[in-house]
Structure 1
């Protein structure tokens, strides 16, 4: 069968016990993604006893992943409240446009919350490797800070100033992200935030594993994500005030 015929193939999936039917062309829309690699022939998943391709992930959330593959747009119910879970699934499937769309939606929700809870900041640490729980042993560690530009710039005592060059051109009030590489950045940022009167609202940890599609030996990669949300009480009018109090 030619490539055109392969793309027109009807595919049945069993994702965590939930059955879906779609086209091969839909699943391979983003060939550089994990799910693209699953269905372009390089790492096809196994089948269940009904002949459906089986993926051991969250079946309910896959609905939104599949909708994005069909339309390249993130479409969620009005009261959808599991963006964090969907972000984990998008990260597993490595669909970069979906990952970015979810980040943008999370940013909108954070900005909407500022009027009630003061300034908010989110720190995500992602460890990927053979032993991802050990940040200094065979693991890649990246830390993503999500906040207003002026808030991120106020953390120069912890973040090297050269790392903030990519924020040039953004307004102080713009919600943005800064990605940093290296171990223990999240912990250092946490200590700094506590010292400057930020309050840790909540923290979450999630894990996933997958075969590295770039490794012909079929190496299993483990990924651990740590997400901290911090609040600066709204009676303070700017992030700099926290560092000037004694």
Structure 2
């Protein structure tokens, strides 16, 4: 009985296995179907028919064969596989899916960018003729290179040369209002604003020719993050001049 060959038609996909494989977990639906003779449907060829996802069943069957959950590195259908494991009532498979999904989440990569804008002047709340604005973008070199030239500036090549890909570096952004413009670009690229804070300081400028002048400094700091899949490559934005980058690193 245990060595009998069985042909299954699962959602139109035909599989051949043995009764011993299907009986691997007797308490499961497949185990009960084999051992207790549960009512079953046959297709036109006399094969046992199960009206479920035929493609995903191969992972269920492979687990029955080896007791190991082996999935492709780019596998994404955890919810679908979980639903099938629940339908077949294979508890060890359900546990293995949950463990692997948690492990993949841990291996996911999160990268961060920080935008700091410093406004200095007698009225520093908004850029005016008597205030100075300095905007700094901080991040890893390889992550900065994923951003379009409009974000990091046309002269970024010179400022990023001699930096290692994973080295953190600062770029001063020129223009106004760069913090808001870059934030909008990052949002459109899938980045999330995770924190934003403002700090204020003030003092007197004794170099003023009209006596002591009050100087106010506002510092805005925005922190952005983006999750990359474990196998997602970090690619340089295609709009950058690759040849110029190579020359800058020579």
TM-score of Structure 1 vs Structure 2, range by shorter chain: 0.3 to 0.5
TM-score (norm 2): 0.47
Q: Who wins on radius of gyration, i.e. which is larger?
A: 2
TM-score (norm 1): 0.47
